[in-house]
Every structure is written in structure tokens, then in C-alpha cells.
Amino acid sequence: MWNLSYLKILKFNSLNCYIIMGIMLAINLVVLYFKKDKFKEIKNNLNSILTNVLIIEIIFLVAFMAWVYIRSFNPVLNNSTEHFMNYGFINKLMNSDYLPVEDIWLSGNNINYYYFGQYITAFLNKISTTHVEESYNLMLALLAAFLITLPYSIGKNLGNNLIKDETKKIAKVVPIIIAILAGLSTCLGGTTYYSIYKLALNDPNYFYADPCYYIGYRPDVPDKTITAFPSYMNIEGDLHAHHIDTMFALTMLALLLQYMLAKDDENDTEQKIEIKNNKNSKQNINNKNIKQNINNKNSMQNIDNKNKKKWRKFFSLNIILMGILLAIQKMTNYWDFPIYLVIIGAVVTVKNFIKYKNFKEKFLVTLAQLAQIVVLEELLTLTFSMQLYISATQVHFTNIMSPLYKLGVLWGLPTLCVIVNIITILYKYFKEKKGSIFAYINNMNLSDIYIIIIGLCAIGLVLLPEIIYLKDIYADDYKRANTMFKLTFNAITLFHISTSYILVKHIYQKSSVVKKTATVIILIIFITTIGYGIDTISYATNGLKNKTMDIKNVEDYIKVMLPDDYVAIQWIKENLDRDSVILQKVDGSYTLSTRISAFTANPTVLGWHGHEWVWRAKADYSVPDEVDARWNDIFQIYNSEDKEYVKSLIEKYDIDYIYIGNLEYSESTDKNFSTLFKLGEIVYTNGTNYAQSPVYIIKVNDQ
């Protein structure tokens, strides 16, 4: 749907979304038809499969409904974070026939950002008949449900493979415990900052956002870095790119685990063919001519199967799915593209080096598969990439590092678990010393190998911002803030899954009393970090008590804060074309200035100045000339008394309507707007709450 709309082949509407879904369903049914053996396997294990599916669906439904209930106490959409930006993107997508969509904060230009996550929200909107003011919070609930069920499923499969040869009854509990820990920690968990400062020290100044700003602000130092995580973002209610991509990132981790655990059934297939060939030969042994024909046929069949086996090494459905999913991640959050390309490369390389004996085979198969993934990803994102301009492309070495004790508070526990787990595995090898290290790895449990890979990747994501950062418009104290934010946001998810597995595994497996006791203590500390989400929910919702404001959906925030603007916004939605350019006040990021464009999806000349600077910065990271020019021109339109000059600026930006509200009065020096009233017709006015400053919407006369 995304690509067909980009190519102007299909409109992005509900009917076409349903048609696309129907086509996908048909393709899946065809695939299922040609995989009859797999279908028989499913049929034979139907009860077990349905039970597992039912459990997952129940967990998902409970988590989803619980988060809907939680959001009902605080469903606000405010300007303190990037709510307005994300809501504006979704709003514009809902009111656009084709992609790419116009930037509501830079009229006449397309959005220069990775917004596939907001597109997914709009897609779900179109097929579920919900309104955008409702679906914003439903999408947050959906993410929360995925943040539990996807890690739960990953943990369950890791555990199942760990105890696959076990006969003890208690072994069956191991996968469930890993799954529950992985799900709860990913959705609700924080870092040990919460365990230390809130629980152990009972810091009276503790605030739930503190762990995100610990390195740069407690105490205040000239290194303003950010270390957010999914539970914080979900409670903050921000549908930003990195948060939405968590559901795709977790799906990629699940797909990589399936790839790692997949059995190579080629030998079994050959054995079945050989048995069948022998059986056919025996049945026809008295007939030499028939026997010869069968042998010839069988020989040809063996050759065909060997050729299939040869090519099957290079092509697989898993590899295709990785390419598709990586493309989605790239368009959802560009930062996750290189991160998960590395993780994919690590898993695929290790799996192939275990699977194949010949070094040339290992190398060629790995190279071919990774090339397929990248080529497919590039093809699927071609329309998107052609429209996207990225200014942050320079990698610099950092000249400042985080204090070691702060890194220890945030990342010490999971890092310790990953390192000790690796040391334990290596110690076992050197103790037994049976064959080479490569032979030892080949015989290792595949769940252990997978956990080592994602655990080391998590450590790498934490250490990388201490060495390098990606240069952007932020400088001085803030220069590595964005790099650390985006990398560690992924690291904590990898840490939650790997730590859940490692701790349960080491408690279950045979070890000394001292080791088990130490592991149990670490497990208890890890479990306390889950309290971060529970405590934060209580704070953000006033203990799940009565709401302080009469807010039922995201737009009711404006209804309470700026009632006259809210009424005007509803009038604009009902009466004006959504492509009409409406001039409004311009201001910096995280201000209310963009409330009209964000809530109506009508483009304005310039929205949040800082965001447009980030998205369109020049090669030297300075402000684009057009962004500054638009800021100055907007000020002139609201203040100049030169009618012809103002008219020329209106023509320059194809402005259809001029909005004058409470915030616009602060934009004007004389506050009478006499020049603007001469340029058009007042099509809307109200002043129920601001008698001194009524709202006006002026329709500009055709030039």
C-alpha cells in the first residue's frame, strides 16, 4: 500500500487497504497450499499449537485492555514532548490520498523524516473505523501489548530450546519463567537507577524521568545525554519513530531467533529419498528394463535434489522476510537500520559458520544472504529514500565520556550477566578441552549462542557513544545526546531479553550453592527494576484515581487549555479543505504555536523552527535559509502595515487563510491586524473566553 501510493497507482484509503490485505491473504493461502507437509505437521500438532496461540492472544488482549484503561486516566496530547509532531503526521496521513505527504510545518514541501510508524497508525485507523483522536492512545496500548507478548514469545522459544532434551517436570516451568520476565521487563522495566535511588536510598527528589537524564543532569555536568527506554516512552505517550519501531525490532529479533533455531532437514530429505529409491528397486528387481528405468529416474531425482539443495543454501523465506522487515525498520526509524543490519549480520554469519563445514561454503552463503537482505531492503525503500534528505552523516570521536559509576548504575547489572555468562561458557570449554573452540561452539545450545550475540550487541550499543557520535545540529553539551539516546534505547530491549534468559538458566542448571545464591540475588534486583513502570504509571495517573481534567481523548487537552482555539479547530475541520494553507504563529520547538496545523492537518508556512532545522540542516549543520526566511516573513505578515508587501508574502507561500488567535496576538506588535483585515474576508470569529482577543480566520482574497 505504501509503495503503490508513493507511485500514485492506488489511493491511500480504506477500500484499497482492504484490497491489499485480501491480496496478502490470497498469497499466504497459496504458500500454505504448496507447503502441504508443513500443513500436515500443523494438523498433527493442532491442539498444542492452538493452546500456545490462545495463551499469547489472551496475554495480548489483557495487556492491550489494561493499557487502554491506564491511558484513559491521562490521554493528553501536549507540547512538552513531540506529541504535536507525531499527531500532526498521523492527521495528515489520514487526510492524504497519496504519498509522500506534505509537511504540515513547511507548506509546499514533503515531510523529510522517517514516518512509516505514523503511516502504520494511519493504516490501522483506516481499516478499524476509529478516529485519529481515539486511535493515538489505542496505538500506545497496541505497542504496550506488543512489548509484553513479543518478548514473552521470544523468551518462551529460547527456554523451550534450552530444555528440549530435559525430562524433569520442573524443566517445563523454565521457558514460562523466562517468557514472563522478558515480557514484563521489556514493557515495564527500567534500569537499576530505580532500584538504587527509589527503593534502596528512597531519594525524596526522585522523579520517574530521572533515569533518562542521569548522566547529564544528576549532578548537572556539561554532557547532556539521554537514555530513554520503552516503558518510559509508553507512559509519556509519545508515538515517536524509535518507540513505534520497537514492535518491528522485536519481530526482527523473533525472526532471527527462528532462523538460529531452524533445523536443517536436508539430510533427512536425502535419507527419505534414498529409502524410497531402494524400495522401488527391490519391488522391480525381477524386471531389468523397469529396474533400469527406475534407477535412471532415481539418479535424475537425486541430481535434481542436490541442485535444489545447492541453491536452497542461498535463498530462503527467512532471508526474504529479514529484507522486508529491515526495510520497514529503515522507514520507521532510520537509526534502527544500521543497528539491526549489524545484528542480522552477526546472527546469519554465526549460524552459517555452524551449519556449513567448508569455509568457502560458509563465506559464500553468508555473503549471498546478506547481499539479498540489503538489495531487497534498498528496493523496497527506493521510493522513500529518493525523497529523504539526511543531514547527520558525519561520525566524530567524542572527547568526553560518561562517569564509570553512572554507566554501572544504568547498565552494570545486564552487562555483568552477559559477561559472566560468556566466561562461564568459556570456562566449561577450557575445563573439558574436547576439540577446538569451533567444534565446541558447533555443539553449543543455539539459544546460548543467540543470547551471546544479542548480549554483546547490547554492550556495543552502550559503549559506542562513549567513543563516537553522529554529528547533528546539537553542539557543545548536547553533541552526543541523540546518538546515546537512539543506541541505548535499543540496548535496553536486548538486555532485558538476554538477562531474563541468563539468570533463569543459571539458577536452573547445576552449579554451586554460592553461585546459585548470587544469581538469585541478582535476579531479585532485576525483578525490582520492573517496579519502575508500575511506580511511573501510578504517578502519571494519580494512582489510577479520578481524572483532574475532563479529558476523553487527545484533542480535549486543547479544549481545556485553549477552548476558543478548540472550537475554531473543529470549525476548520468541518468547513475548510485540508490542503488549504493556514498561516499561524511561528515559534520554537515544544510550544503551542503549532496547535492549528497539528490538530487540523492543514499545512502552515512554518511550524516548530527547531524541528525543521534538524530535518533540513545544511551541510555545515546551520539553519536552512528557507526556514529562517519563513520565520521572518511570518513576523512581517502579522506586523507590517505595507499592504502590497504583505500581499506579496501571502502570494509567495500560497496562503489561503490567516489565523488570529490568542497566541497570534503575542506575535503582533500593535495587535490590531488592520492590514490583514483589508486583504480578505473574515469567515470565522469567536471570543467566548478571550474578550480582549477574539479568534479570527481570514480568507485571503484571490490575487
- Calpha distance 605→283 (Å, rounded): 83
Identify the pLDDT of residue 428: 86
- The per-residue pLDDT for range 8-19, each reduced to its tens digit, is 999 999 999 999
The pLDDT of residue 439: 81
Mean pLDDT of the chain, nearest integer? 88
pLDDT band at residue 411 under the 50/70/90 scheme: very high
Instruction: Report CA torsion sign: 426, 431, 436, 439.
Output: negative
Cα–Cα distances in angstroms (integers) from residue 623 to residues 111, 478, 500, 636, in the given order = 17, 17, 45, 20
Q: What letter represents residue 544's amino acid?
A: L
Q: What is the predicted pLDDT for the residue at 285?
A: 47
- Structure confidence by residue, pLDDT tens digits, 254-279: 999 999 998 764 444 444 444 444 44
CA-nearest of 485, 490, 481, 502 to 459 is: 490
Mean pLDDT, range 581-589, rounded to an integer? 93
User: Quick one: average pLDDT of 500-505?
Assistant: 96
What pLDDT does 484 receive?
94
For the stretch 171-213, pLDDT in tens is 889 999 999 999 999 999 999 999 999 999 999 999 999 999 9
Q: What is the pLDDT of residue 35?
A: 78
Give the pLDDT confidence of 90-119 residue by residue, as tens digits: 999 999 999 999 999 999 999 999 999 999
Work out the average pLDDT over 39-62: 86
Q: Of the ranges 33-47, 163-177, 446-460, which is most confident?
A: 446-460
Report residue 204: phi and psi, to 5°. Answer: -65, -20
Q: Kindly state the average pLDDT of the residues 397-416.
A: 94
Tell me the pLDDT tens digit for each residue of 431-457: 877 777 888 888 899 999 999 999 999
CB distance 695 to 585 below 8 Å:
no
The three cell numbers locating residue 586: 511561528
Tens of pLDDT, residue by residue over 510-568, are: 888 999 999 999 999 999 999 999 999 988 888 887 665 566 778 888 888 888 899 99
Give the pLDDT confidence of 599-653 residue by residue, as tens digits.
Answer: 999 999 999 999 999 999 998 899 999 999 999 999 999 998 899 999 999 999 9
Are 137 and 237 a contacting pair, CB within 8 Å?
Answer: yes
Q: Measuring CA to CA, how many Å separate 444 from each of 61, 142, 420, 449?
A: 36, 36, 17, 7
Confidence of residue 126 (pLDDT cuts 50, 70, 90): very high
Q: How far from the centroid of its chain's Cα atoms is residue 35's Cα?
A: 32
Residue with more model confidence, 411 or 664: 411
pLDDT of residue 298: 57
Number of H helices, E strands in the chain: 32, 6
Using CA atoms, how far apart are residues 423 and 101, in angstroms rounded to an integer? Answer: 52
pLDDT of residue 115: 94
* pLDDT at residue 302, rounded to an integer: 57
| CA 295, chain centre distance (Å) | 55
Distance CA 524, CA 437 (A): 34
The domains of the chain are located at 1-44, 45-74+113-258+391-540, 262-312, 314-390, 562-700
- Which element (helix H / strand E) includes 291? helix 288-312
CA distance 501 to 532: 20
Sign of CA dihedral 249, 252, 256, 262: positive
Tally of CB atoms within 10 A around 33 = 9
For the purposes of burial, counting CB atoms within 10 Å of the CB of 230, is it exposed (0-12), middle (13-18) or buried (19 or more)? buried
Identify which of 174, 559, 47, 119 has the alpha carbon closest to the alpha carbon of residue 332: 119
Q: How far apart are CA 179 and CA 149, in angstroms?
A: 9
Predicted pLDDT at 434: 72
Measured distance CA(492)–CA(572) in Å, rounded: 43
* Confidence at residue 267, expressed as pLDDT on a 0 to 100 scale: 40
pLDDT at 1 over 60: yes
The pLDDT of residue 297 is above 80: no
- pLDDT of 373: 96
Whether 690 shows a pLDDT value over 70: the answer reads no
Cα(119)–Cα(101) distance, rounded to whole angstroms?
10
Q: Is the confidence at residue 592, as pLDDT, over 70? A: yes
pLDDT band at 509 (very low <50, low <70, confident <90, very high): confident
Spatial contact of 67 and 140, defined as CB atoms under 8 Å apart: yes
210 exposed, middle or buried (CB, 10 Å; 0-12, 13-18, 19+)?
Answer: middle
Q: If we measure between CA atoms, which residue out of 195, 228, 232 comes closest to residue 214?
A: 228
Q: Per-residue confidence at 697, pLDDT binned at 50, 70, 90?
A: very high
State whether residue 14 is helix, strand or coil: helix
| Phi, psi values for residue 159, rounded to 5° | -65, -40
Q: What's the average model confidence in pLDDT over 676-695?
A: 77
Q: How confident is the model at residue 49 (pLDDT cuts 50, 70, 90)?
A: confident
| Distance from the first to the final alpha carbon of the chain | 38
Query: How much is the pLDDT for 203?
Result: 92
